[in-house]
Amino acid sequence: MIGDIIGEPGRNILARKLSHLMETYEIDFVIANGENSAGGFGITPKIAEELYLLGVDVITTGNHVWDKKEIVDYITQQPRLLRPANYPDSTPGAGSAVISLSRTEKVAVLQLMGRVFMPTTDCPFQIGWREVARLRAETPIIIVDMHAEATSEKRAMGWYLDGEVSAVVGTHTHVQTADEEILPKGTAYLTDAGMTGPMHSVIGMNKDQVIHRFLHQMPQRFEMGGGPCVISAALLTVDVNGRAQSIVRLQVKDTD
């Protein structure tokens, strides 16, 4: 599971590194958060198709999913591009997908979004429980992208779904955490997968512009950061019964 892809720099390092990573680690399935893949804000149909060609199976998003208006029609036609499941039912797109991995095995991906310091949505816990029950009827292998600001909310979701899903991996804060573990009932957990994009930045944005904003509290248009890039991700091993066997943090840099 690949952390938030930040603009063209993030897409470019995936183009350079992802196929090698898939071969090296014998990866069967790739999930990537793409809500910042278009200039740092949103995603476009063209970029989504580009990510699929690189080897991404399912793209998750979050609060920036609607930043590029052309995605609204596309998301209704592309089941592998998800928006948070706890948006209203009338919202375009779907919050989960079930993808066939082989003739006998399927992988379900569920996208949820937190409510602490985030846009107003329905309860991710209640919606999450409902969706997991529905998905388990199709497959025991369920990966949850918990897109949230608050560490506590992500952590609570991990415990809430322990034993019900294969993994709960957080996104949104763009900083990879060091708390990967297998919870007691067999669910892999990581508070945040981190970001895929420029390292010499502030969560992907031009560091000088961000510092200027903090210093002077003046409106500032942020541009992409530059320099070498990193892929931040979580490598999950899950058995056919949906129980996590391992979770390992990855950080692959341009220099690797």
Residues annotated as catalytic are: 64
Q: How far from chain centre, in Å, is Cα 23? A: 21
CA distance 135 to 30: 19
Residue 154: helix, strand or coil by DSSP? Answer: helix
Long-range pairs, 115-119, Cβ under 8 A, ≥24: 115/148, 115/153, 116/148, 116/149, 116/150, 116/152, 116/153, 117/149, 117/150, 118/63, 118/148, 118/149, 119/63
Closest CA to 107 of 238, 246, 19: 238
Q: How far from chain centre, in Å, is Cα 161? A: 17
Closest CA to 169 of 205, 143, 151: 143
Q: 169 - beta bridge partners?
A: 145, 190
What spatial distance separates the first Cα and last Cα of the chain, rounded to whole Å? 19
Q: What are the structure tokens assigned to 141, written together?
A: 């292998």
CA distance 199 to 220: 21
